[in-house]
Amino acid sequence: MSEYSGSVDPRAEDSDSHGGLGCAEVIAEVWTLLDGECTPESRARLQQHLDACPGCLKHYGLEERIKALIASKCRGEKAPDALRERLRLEIRRTTIIRDMR
Ligand SMILES: [Zn+2]
């Protein structure tokens, strides 16, 4: 129904990767962050992409939630369950990450 199918082909995003992560990879990285720990590397990768590609997470409607997730994770806190659940649902709904199940 909507024109945007919700699937992301990483190759299609390649030209848009700004020399760092592609947009689809960023979502995959966030997915990892949901259950894993915030490492300085993953945080830097995400931050770098968000700086270079400001429309990225807005496009997925995830911007504020992902920033909140990064902020709490990287302070060493556990992200609130509600936030994690929300993100999990939204990422599932908006992207297809082939190896995530
Ligand atoms: Zn992006």
Q: How far is the CA of 1 from the centre of ligand 1 (A)?
A: 24
What's the CATH code of the domain at 84?
1.10.10
pLDDT interval class at 1 (50, 70, 90): low
Q: What percent of the chain clears pLDDT 70, i.e. is strictly above it?
A: 74
The token duo for 40 is 């300085």
pLDDT tens, position by position, 41-86: 888 989 899 889 988 888 888 899 998 998 898 888 888 999 999 9
Q: Considering the domain boundaries, does residue 44 fall inside one?
A: yes
Q: Considering the domain boundaries, does residue 5 fall inside one?
A: no
Q: How far is the CA of 66 from the centre of ligand 1 (A)?
A: 13
Q: Considering the domain boundaries, does residue 52 fall inside one?
A: yes
Per the prediction, the chain carries an average pLDDT of 79
Q: Considering the domain boundaries, does residue 71 fall inside one?
A: yes
Domain count, the chain: 1
**Domain membership of residue 28 as a residue range:** 17-100
5 compared with 51, residue with greater pLDDT:
51
| pLDDT given for residue 99 in this prediction | 52
Q: How far is the CA of 73 from the centre of ligand 1 (A)?
A: 21
Q: Considering the domain boundaries, does residue 35 fall inside one?
A: yes
Q: Which residues, in sequence order, are CB contacts of 99 under 8 Å at separation 6+?
A: none
First-residue to last-residue Cα distance in the chain: 25
Q: Considering the domain boundaries, does residue 3 fall inside one?
A: no
Burial 61-84 (b: 16+ CB within 10 A, else e): ebeebbeebbebbbeeeebeeebb
Q: Considering the domain boundaries, does residue 70 fall inside one?
A: yes
Q: What is the mean pLDDT of residues 13-36?
A: 75
Q: How far is the CA of 22 from the centre of ligand 1 (A)?
A: 6
Q: How far is the CA of 83 from the centre of ligand 1 (A)?
A: 21
- Residues lining ligand 1 (ion), CB within 5 A? 23, 53, 56
Task: With H, G, I as helix, E, B as strand and everything else as coil, classify residue 7.
Answer: coil
The token duo for 3 is 């024109």
Q: Considering the domain boundaries, does residue 11 fall inside one?
A: no
